[in-house]
Amino acid sequence: MSTAAPSENLLKHLDYSVVQQCMHCGICLPTCPTYDITREERHSPRGRIALMRAIADDRIPLSKEFAEEMYYCLGCLACKTACPAGVDYPHLFEMARAEAERSGVLDSAPRQFIRWGLLKVLFGNYWMMHLFGRCLYLYRALGFQTLIRRSGIMKLMPQRLQKMERLTPTMERRFSNELIQYLEAPAQPRYTVGLLTGCVQDMMYATINRDTADVLLAAGCRVVTPRGQLCCGSLHAHNGDLELAKDFSRKLMDQFDLNEVDAIITNAGGCGSHLRHYDRLLADDPAYAERAKVWSAKLKDIHEWLIEIGFDKQLQALNLKTSPQRITYHESCHLAHGQGIVKQPRQLMKSIPGLELVELPESNWCCGSAGVYNLTQPDTAAELANRKMDNIVKTGCTTVATANPGCLLQLEKFSEIRNIKLTVTHPVSLIAEALRRGQ
Identify whether the C-beta of residue 410 lies closer than 8 Å to the C-beta of residue 369: yes
CA nearest neighbour of 344 among 385, 315, 387:
315
CB of 369 to ligand SF4, least distance (A): 13
Q: Segment near ligand SF4 (CB under 6 A), from 41-49, 191-199, 221-229, 286-294?
A: 41-49
Q: Which is nearer to ligand SF4, 11 or 435 (CB)?
A: 11
Sheet with 325-329, edge to edge strand ranges = 355-358, 325-329, 399-401, 423-425
Residue 100 near ligand SF4 by CB under 6 A: no
User: Rule CB under 6 A: is residue 76 a binding residue for ligand SF4?
Assistant: yes
Q: Does 413 bind ligand SF4 (CB under 6 A)?
A: no
Question: Cβ 115 to ligand SF4, closest distance in Å?
Answer: 21
Binding status of residue 217 toward ligand SF4 by CB under 6 A: no
Whole-number Å distance between alpha carbons of 386 and 367: 8
By CB under 6 A, how many residues form the interface with ligand SF4? 27
Q: What would the x/- binding string for ligand SF4 be over residues 43 to 72, using CB under 6 A?
A: --xx-xx-----------------------
Choosing from 75, 133, 272, 338, the residue that interacts with ligand SF4 (CB under 6 A) is 75
Nearer to ligand SF4, 49 or 224 (CB): 49
Give the integer Cα–Cα distance in Å for 411 and 338. Answer: 20
Q: Which is nearer to ligand SF4, 83 or 245 (CB)?
A: 83
The 10 Å Cβ neighbour count of residue 385 is 25
Name which of 60, 163, 76, 93 is nearest 374 in CA terms. Answer: 163
Q: Is 27 in the site for ligand SF4 (CB under 6 A)?
A: yes
Cα–Cα distances in angstroms (integers) from residue 319 to residues 306, 322, 349, 435, in the given order: 18, 9, 14, 10
Return d(Cα 319, Cα 436) in angstroms, integer: 13
User: What is the phi/psi pair of residue 121, to 5°?
Assistant: -75, -55
Q: Does 22 bind ligand SF4 (CB under 6 A)?
A: yes
Strands 221-224 and 183-184: antiparallel
Query: Around Cβ 295, how many Cβ atoms within 10 Å?
Result: 23
Round to whole Å and give the CA distance between 100 and 107: 10
Cα 309 to chain centroid distance, Å, stands at: 24
The reply on whether position 33 binds ligand SF4 by CB under 6 A is: yes
Site for ligand SF4 contains 177 (CB under 6 A): no
Stretch that binds ligand SF4, among 26-34, 101-109, 207-215, 417-425 (CB under 6 A): 26-34
Nearer to ligand SF4, 21 or 170 (CB): 21
∠ Cα 139 143 145 (to 5°)? 60
> Which one of the spans 25-33, 127-135, 164-172, 199-207 is the region binding ligand SF4 (CB under 6 A)?
25-33
Q: Give the nearest distance from C-beta 68 to ligand SF4 in angstroms.
A: 13
Of 24-32, 144-152, 387-395, 416-424, the segment contacting ligand SF4 by CB under 6 A is: 24-32
Q: Which is nearer to ligand SF4, 46 or 222 (CB)?
A: 46
Q: Is 423 helix (H, G, I), strand (E, B) or coil?
A: strand
26 near ligand SF4, judged by CB under 6 A = yes
| Core vs surface per residue 387-410: b (16+ CB within 10 A) or e | bbbebbeebebbbbbbbbbbbbbb
Looking at beta carbons only, is 165 or 379 nearer to ligand SF4?
Answer: 379
Candidates 5, 6, 17, 24; binder of ligand SF4 (CB under 6 A) is 24
Out of 74, 98, 381, 409, the only residue in the binding site for ligand SF4 (CB under 6 A) is 74
Give me the helix-helix angle, 159-166 and 378-395, nearest 10°.
40
Q: Which residues bind ligand SF4 (CB under 6 A)?
A: 22-28, 31-34, 45-46, 48-49, 73-79, 82-83, 85, 87, 89
